[in-house]
Amino acid sequence: MLSGVTIFAQVPTKPLSPPLVTDLYSADPSAHVFDGKIYIYPSHDIDAGVPENDNGDHFDMRDYHVYSLEAPGKKIRDHGVALDIKQVPWTGKQLWAPDAAVRNGTYYLYFPAKDKQGVFYIGVATSKSPAGPFRALPEPIKGSYSIDPCVFTDDDGTSYMYFGGIWGGQLQRWRTGQYDSAGVLPQDQEPAIGPRMAKLTNTMTEFAEPVRELKIVDTAGKELLNGDNNRRFFEAAWMHKYNGKYYLSYSTGDTHLICYATGDSPYGPFVYRGVILKPVLGWTNHHSIIAFKGKWYLFYHDSTLSGGKTHLRNIKMTELKYNADGTIQTISPYLD
């Protein structure tokens, strides 16, 4: 156990959902509905032979595949390599969790990577097809940093990017607004570091405003503290909207939960509401949420396909359900 959360000692025998992809290892699934289909933009896990550490150096991914589904339960289609790290001139290594968006017939793939000095930034690549292949811009997005981009387009057509992750995601190194390799986390009784966000321009390749930090608070309006590991933000921010409310969901990292908070604006503040997904096999927990033909779905990953190897994961999906008051029903990823 860790902070009251189950850490699996062996592979669960009854997963709630099967892997969507079985011939490659995949993780961090960002799902979207484009052209009436579900498109999934995951990381592509490989065994790079890099020793495991808390900075995640063993997650040394080098390209992206795009997948599509005609509908849940149908056969998944692999559209092949959409972008390779060799095609991105500014990168050094580690193509981590991506996301995608569309505007005016152009599709955008957003991806974090370390530059040649080992600092994470967020790049963007474009295509005329949601399946790619994508062509990367020569430089990362100006003003971007850290990892895990999520692009949310509101009902009025305005798009926002949410991003960031602590520990290996380097967000603690940007606490002053400038990169500091010696940057550290707050003390346990100090407010936790929040995810970052900014509105995008209509080009979808630049920030239209300065980056700001989001506030996640409890029901009394007090910011969650850094020591509140079961509720505070770690990485994997995702935004969706349900019945007029904005839902910010995220991973708690070392306690392995997917939690959520709600607000009345894409800028927050966001009030913590509860747990969406309990811990999965493997260290990481990363998700996305979409609506498709009247139902809602949660996409996530675990490590059942590799027998529990935390850097060799597989993407999954399951139905997501809301209560009458707008709260989300907690999902257990295993039946045993």
The residues that are catalytic are 28, 235
Please give the DSSP secondary-structure letter assigned to residue 266: T
Q: Which residues contact 291 (CB under 8 A, 6 or more apart)?
A: 33, 240, 297
CA angle at 229 for the pair 227 and 232, rounded to the nearest 5°: 90
Q: Which residues contact 179 (CB under 8 A, 6 or more apart)?
A: 119, 145, 173
Give the full edge-to-edge strand order of the sheet including 258-263. 216-217, 270-277, 258-263, 245-251, 235-242
* 209, amino acid identity: E
Query: Does the N-terminal peptide bond of residue 133 adopt cis geometry, omega within 30 degrees of 0?
Result: yes
Q: How far is CA 161 from CA 68, 129, 144, 224, in A?
A: 23, 21, 10, 22
Decide: helix, strand or coil at residue 205.
coil
The two structure tokens encoding residue 245: 């409310």
Q: How far is CA 136 from CA 1, 4, 110, 180, 230, in A?
A: 43, 43, 9, 27, 37
Terminal-to-terminal C-alpha distance of the chain = 17
